[in-house]
A and B are shown apart, each in its own frame.
Chain A
Amino acid sequence: SQTIHQWPATLVQPVGSPLSLECTVEGTSNPNLYWYRQAAGRGLQLLFYSVGIGQISSEVPQNLSASRPQDRQFILSSKKLLLSDSGFYLCASRPLNAAGSSYGYTFGSGTRLTVV
């Protein structure tokens, strides 16, 4: 079964500082990978998804970017954080052959980012 490692668990960063959140997946190959954000009082918003190395699709315009340098590594970055970037960031993985099957999604434990 899949396991997702996501770190750090909590992060406090000043406005204007850079950001790098890392997510690594074990137990599967060539998964679809996703970054979600859960802002206070709001639901989960899909930020980015990736179907393969170097392939990134952005769902919403924002101050963040994503990269997938390796098959099971997904990185969320920002050059200059904004206050509005605060929130709870979740990485998720889904096996590529899961279309119509019983394979599900696995979520990481999340990173709570506070921009001050």
Chain B
Amino acid sequence: AQSVSQHNHHVILSEAASLELGCNYSYGGTVNLFWYVQYPGQHLQLLLKYFSGDPLVKGIKGFEAEFIKSKFSFNLRKPSVQWSDTAEYFCAGAFGNTGKLIFGQGTTLQVKP
């Protein structure tokens, strides 16, 4: 069965620190991958997505993610986090023709000023 897993459940960083959130998926076929962010009290917002082509994807707010097919991974990175990046981050994958979007468990990022 398809699945998405996020390794870090709660991450605490200081401002200007670098960020990497892990995401792995389980599926043998074509997959579309996404990272969403949910700021406190707000709705889900798309950060970036990978469908095909360049495996290094750049998104909004300085985030990027790299699709490594051999590792079934799609890790999210940001070189220097800000206090405003405090939020919950979700990795998700769309598998097969139904386009079912399967989410990981989410990672809560807390950035200390």
Residues of A within 8 A of B (CB): 32, 34, 36, 42-46, 49, 51, 57, 59, 90, 92, 94, 98-102, 104-105, 107, 109-110
CB of B56 within 8 A of chain A?
no
Select which of B32, B49, B90, B97 is within 8 A of A44 by beta carbon.
B90
Residues of B within 8 A of A (CB): 6, 30, 32, 34, 43-44, 46, 49, 51-52, 90, 92, 94, 97-106
B49 pairs with A104, CB closer than 8 A? yes
Q: How far is the CA of A44 from the CA of B102 in the complex (A)?
A: 8
Most buried by A among B30, B52, B103: B103
B49 pairs with A100, CB closer than 8 A? no
B contact residues around A42 at 8 Å (CB): 105-106
A contact residues around B30 at 8 Å (CB): 100
